[in-house]
């Protein structure tokens, strides 16, 4: 049966296990959580996140315990960085393209037990959504104004990625909503912000002054700003061209101090195995320190790359 939309919390919960695959039918304003969310609310947040897709085509997929092996290896290399064994050293970490930041919070938590003064920046291009609500309808937007979704019960339709041709009714609703959007008076609507940061990561921000979120691109250069930089499940050949990947690699090289560590890799969707490479940044190039699984699919590109003098 064609589902027109899932716009109520109870409706979403009734879907049981299937809800993780509700995809664009689930209204993104269901990501809004109270200050003290229940375990069920948090599960729903994670499930909606699982299939959420933003305008640049990358998925937001992330999940609990994804990087147990990567985190354990990182712990060894970070201990190695602290040459004199000073566990109170202020190690600067950047975790980029983190989606909801759940895996960043897990990693940071494990590090704080041993290195209490870690400075941890988790970043993503998108850390919140906007909802323009009123007159019984809502538009979900990215902060730059890109329309993602239109909600008018019983309909929830995708605005950026086209609805399937198999659903002519939903395509018609989406086309009509787009037309309407250009004609509405924004002042008749309320603009609400919806955080895309996982509640556990938000809680960590509150209790750990060294843990913070930034809006940042993987292409940003922050010269010499960190000792460890991680980019998981973003620098994939399926997302970016070789030229774009080379640009990102240069930006990462620039952002690490000499001797710093870059962790890059991907989780395979069929068996959830991680394939990652740990690099050390030299004065003029990368050295492979360790591989998990088969290593990163862009390892060769990094080793071949022209690194700025």
Ligand X SMILES: C[S@@+](CC[C@H](N)C(=O)[O-])C[C@H]1O[C@@H](n2cnc3c(N)ncnc32)[C@H](O)[C@@H]1O
- Kindly state whether residue 97 participates in binding ligand X, applying the rule CB under 6 A: yes
Smallest gap from residue 238 Cβ to ligand X (A): 11
Q: Which residue, 96 or 281, is less far from ligand X as judged by CB?
A: 96
Cα 304 from Cα 117, distance rounded (Å): 35
Q: Which residue, 44 or 97, is less far from ligand X as judged by CB?
A: 97
Smallest gap from residue 62 Cβ to ligand X (A): 3
Q: Classify strands 92-96 and 119-124 as parallel, antiparallel or unpaired.
A: parallel
Under a CB-based contact definition with an 8 Å cutoff, are residues 90 and 117 in contact?
yes
- Kindly state whether residue 222 participates in binding ligand X, applying the rule CB under 6 A: no
Q: Which residue, 107 or 155, is less far from ligand X as judged by CB?
A: 107
If one counts every other C-beta atom within 10 angstroms of the C-beta of residue 168, the result is 10
DSSP-assigned letter for residue 6: B
- Contact residue for ligand X among 126, 140, 229, 256 (CB under 6 A): 126
Question: 18 exposed, middle or buried (CB, 10 Å; 0-12, 13-18, 19+)?
Answer: exposed
Smallest gap from residue 252 Cβ to ligand X (A): 12
The candidate with the shortest Cα–Cα distance to 200, out of 61, 75, 28, 46, is 46
Residue 206 three-state SS = helix
- Kindly state whether residue 127 participates in binding ligand X, applying the rule CB under 6 A: no
- Kindly state whether residue 252 participates in binding ligand X, applying the rule CB under 6 A: no
- Contact residue for ligand X among 13, 51, 61, 167 (CB under 6 A): 61
Smallest gap from residue 87 Cβ to ligand X (A): 26
Q: Which residue, 25 or 96, is less far from ligand X as judged by CB?
A: 96
Q: Classify strands 226-232 and 92-96 as parallel, antiparallel or unpaired.
A: parallel
If one counts every other C-beta atom within 10 angstroms of the C-beta of residue 145, the result is 7
- Contact residue for ligand X among 19, 66, 275, 280 (CB under 6 A): 66
- Kindly state whether residue 197 participates in binding ligand X, applying the rule CB under 6 A: no
- Kindly state whether residue 60 participates in binding ligand X, applying the rule CB under 6 A: yes
Question: 246 exposed, middle or buried (CB, 10 Å; 0-12, 13-18, 19+)?
Answer: middle
- Kindly state whether residue 159 participates in binding ligand X, applying the rule CB under 6 A: no
Cα 31 from Cα 27, distance rounded (Å): 8
- Kindly state whether residue 22 participates in binding ligand X, applying the rule CB under 6 A: no
- Contact residue for ligand X among 11, 54, 158, 255 (CB under 6 A): 54
- Kindly state whether residue 232 participates in binding ligand X, applying the rule CB under 6 A: yes
Smallest gap from residue 85 Cβ to ligand X (A): 30
Cα 27 from Cα 60, distance rounded (Å): 15
Q: Which two tokens stand for residue 256?
A: 């690490």
Under a CB-based contact definition with an 8 Å cutoff, are residues 263 and 236 in contact?
no
Q: Which residue, 124 or 299, is less far from ligand X as judged by CB?
A: 124
Question: Which residues lie near ligand X (CB under 6 A)?
Answer: 54, 56, 58-62, 66, 96-99, 103, 124-126, 217-219, 232-234
């Amino acid at each position: 049966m064609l589902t027109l939309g899932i716009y109520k919390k109870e409706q979403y919960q009734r879907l049981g296990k299937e809800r993780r695959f509700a995809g664009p039918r689930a209204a993104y304003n269901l990501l809004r959580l109270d200050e003290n969310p229940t375990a069920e609310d948090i599960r729903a947040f994670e499930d909606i996140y699982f299939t959420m897709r933003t305008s640049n085509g990358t998925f937001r997929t992330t999940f609990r315990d994804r990087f147990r092996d990567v985190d354990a290896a990182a712990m060894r290399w970070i201990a190695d960085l602290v040459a004199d064994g000073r566990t109170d050293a202020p190690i600067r970490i950047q975790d980029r393209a983190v989606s909801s930041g759940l895996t960043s919070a897990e990693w940071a938590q494990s590090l704080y037990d041993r290195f209490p003064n870690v400075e941890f920046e988790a970043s993503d291009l998108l850390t919140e959504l906007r909802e323009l609500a009123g007159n019984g309808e809502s538009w979900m937007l990215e902060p730059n104004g890109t329309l993602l979704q239109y909600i008018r019960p019983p309909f929830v339709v995708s605005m950026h990625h086209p609805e399937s041709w198999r659903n002519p009714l939903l395509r018609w609703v989406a086309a009509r909503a787009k037309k309407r959007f250009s004609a509405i008076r924004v002042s008749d609507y309320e603009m609400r912000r919806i955080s895309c940061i996982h509640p556990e990561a938000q809680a960590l921000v509150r209790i750990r002054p060294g843990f913070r979120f930034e809006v940042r691109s993987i292409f940003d250069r922050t010269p010499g700003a960190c000792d460890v930089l991680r980019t998981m499940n973003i620098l994939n050949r399926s997302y970016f061209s070789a030229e774009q990947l080379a640009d990102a690699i240069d930006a990462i090289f620039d952002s690490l101090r000499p001797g710093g560590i870059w962790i890059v890799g991907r989780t395979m969707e069929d068996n959830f195995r991680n394939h990652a490479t740990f690099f050390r940044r030299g004065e003029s190039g990368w050295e492979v320190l360790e591989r998990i699984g088969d290593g990163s699919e862009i390892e060769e590109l990094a080793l071949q790359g022209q690194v700025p003098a």
